[in-house]
Amino acid sequence: MAYAYLFKYIIIGDTGVGKSCLLLQFTDKRFQPVHDLTIGVEFGARMITIDGKQIKLQIWDTAGQESFRSITRSYYRGAAGALLVYDITRRDTFNHLTTWLEDARQHSNSNMVIMLIGNKSDLESRREVKKEEGEAFAREHGLIFMETSAKTASNVEEAFINTAKEIYEKIQEGVFDINNEANGIKIGPQHAATNATHAGNQGGQQAGGGCC
Amino acid sequence: MNKIRGLPPEVREPGPGVELGVEDGLLCQLIHSPEFNLFSKSVVFESNFIQVTKPGDWMNVCEGSTTMILGVTSSVPSLPLPNILLMANVTWPQGQFSTGNTPDSAPVITLSRILPLKFVELQICDRLQRILRIRTVTEKIYYLRLHEKHPETVFQFWIRLVKILQKGLSITTKDPRIQFTHCLVPKMSSSSTETTPESSLLLSSQPSESFMLLETKQTSDSFSHFSGRSQLTADRVCDLNILGRPQRFHMEDAL
């Protein structure tokens, strides 16, 4: 399917925070409570529409386990967006954000958009990390922030799409050099001639949700 | 004049692997495409498989025309052994299948996983049924039957690949001073359910080799952590208790 842009995303964060579940909810609109431990990379993809343009999200779901960490670092290259996920019911996953962020900053391009996600918001009774703490961390480090629930699908669409909107805005502002593939953005084959000519329009909307 | 004399220009003629559909196939084209741009200088060996159920009945897991493409490649082409396993799903229109590149067949291919081979064990599960068994460190097991339209030669390639991954090549270092302190995917114990002729042969004739694993070392390129020092090791002292307990792996030690 033709697209104007392709954005590469990477999902990172401690093991068990729900990275694969977020991906499955976004691409397949379903929740799978038990998921195999991720090793290597698992891929997902979906088309969305922003500013009337078809954008393909190529999503790299990585292993969160410490043992696979050194491999995960090699996947940052060429990512336009990162979803940094913690579990609001596990304080330790929040405490490890700094390490993940250091990794992301060190191994990715400096313009990569990072969305901080506090997942499992449906488990309010077991909450260990206040929403305000997530907001403060994001503010301090220049991240976007949302709390999500992969189980109920709350804010899942928004997390992925708002990240894309931010990337798209950076393209419009000329922050991203879209001809440099190291930025994690590729121009669709049919749109190469007309790219970067539509400045200023924002307010993306999500597409029908078909996987691609 | 900067030209180097004496080196003939590179000539790339399609080899028999292309005709058999195991080289320059759909998976190779996908990962080398601008969309992924992965391992662009490495050859990809690939084949079409149908996922089947556990030993016994070998029923297809999926109905219809969904096929899995399994491929191996190297993060760096100079490595003596492949170190990357690729898995993709492909759907053929009208259920057709072809190893060629006919434009009207237009299959839909989706890359699903990239796995470092060091975290994967490949076995020939049933030679007659042409079934591969793939086991990951997380105990995810796939049984894959080579697509019926592949000629027997293709399965012979997979048998050879499995043996190479287990035994190494003549150029693979056999230096006993290189120590490996762990084993990520140790072979199942004698109570293993693998009783097929191929696996039995391997277990009985070369028990130490059944513990062999591909080890790789990190370099600085993309997916670089899978490259550099490639060799097989017969690790008899691996801790079998780590089966199913990947939290005990110490990959950093191995890299």
Q: Where are the domains of chain B?
A: 16-93+104-167
**Looking at residue A175, what is its pLDDT?**
86
CA distance B232 to chain A (A): 20
Closest CA to A76 of B23, B95, B223: B223
Q: What is the CA radius of gyration of chain B?
A: 19
* CB contact (8 A) between residue B116 and residue A42: no
Report yes or no on whether pTM surpasses 0.80: no
Query: Both ends of chain B: CA-CA distance in Å?
Result: 42
pLDDT for the residue B194? 38
In a domain, A194, yes or no: no
User: Is the residue at A205 inside a domain?
Assistant: no
How many domains does chain A divide into? 1
pLDDT, mean of residues A74-92: 94
The tokens for A28 are 């397949």
Chain-chain contact of B249 with A67 (C-beta, under 8 angstroms): yes
A34 domain-assigned: yes
A132: closest CA of chain B, how far (Å): 32
Whole-Å CA distances, B208 to B176, B189, B214, B225, B243: 14, 12, 14, 27, 18
**Does residue A175 have a known ligand-binding role?**
no
Query: Which residues of chain A have a CB within 8 Å of the CB of B111?
Result: 43
Check: CATH 3.40.50.2000 for B16-93+104-167? no
Query: What length does chain A have?
Result: 212
On whether residue A200 sits in a domain, the answer given is no
Question: How far does chain A reach from its first CA to its final CA, in angstroms?
Answer: 7
Q: What is the pLDDT of residue B218?
A: 34
Nearest to B28 by CA among B78, B97, B99: B99
Contacts of A40 in chain B (CB under 8 A): 85, 113-116, 119
* Residue A148 belongs to a domain: yes
State whether residue A190 is helix, strand or coil. Answer: coil
In a domain, A163, yes or no: yes
Contact A156, A26 (CB under 8 A): yes
Asked whether the beta carbons of A112 and A86 are under 8 A apart, the reply is no
pLDDT tens, B70-91? 999 998 888 888 999 999 999 8
Of residues B55 and A151, more confidently modeled = A151
Instruction: Find the domain containing A33 and state its range.
Output: 3-188
A198 in a structural domain = no
Q: Rounded to an integer, what distance in angstroms lies between the CA atom of residue A173 and that of residue A178? A: 11
pLDDT tens digits for B19-76? 888 999 999 999 999 899 898 889 999 999 999 987 666 666 666 556 899 999 998 8
Give just the sign of the alpha carbon dihedral A182, B112, B24, A3. negative
| Per-residue pLDDT in tens (0 to 9) along chain B, 255 residues | 444 555 555 556 667 788 888 999 999 999 999 899 898 889 999 999 999 987 666 666 666 556 899 999 998 888 888 999 999 999 877 656 655 555 556 788 999 999 999 899 999 999 999 999 999 998 889 999 999 989 999 999 999 999 988 887 765 555 555 543 333 333 334 333 333 333 333 333 333 323 332 333 333 333 333 233 333 222 322 222 222 222 222 222 222
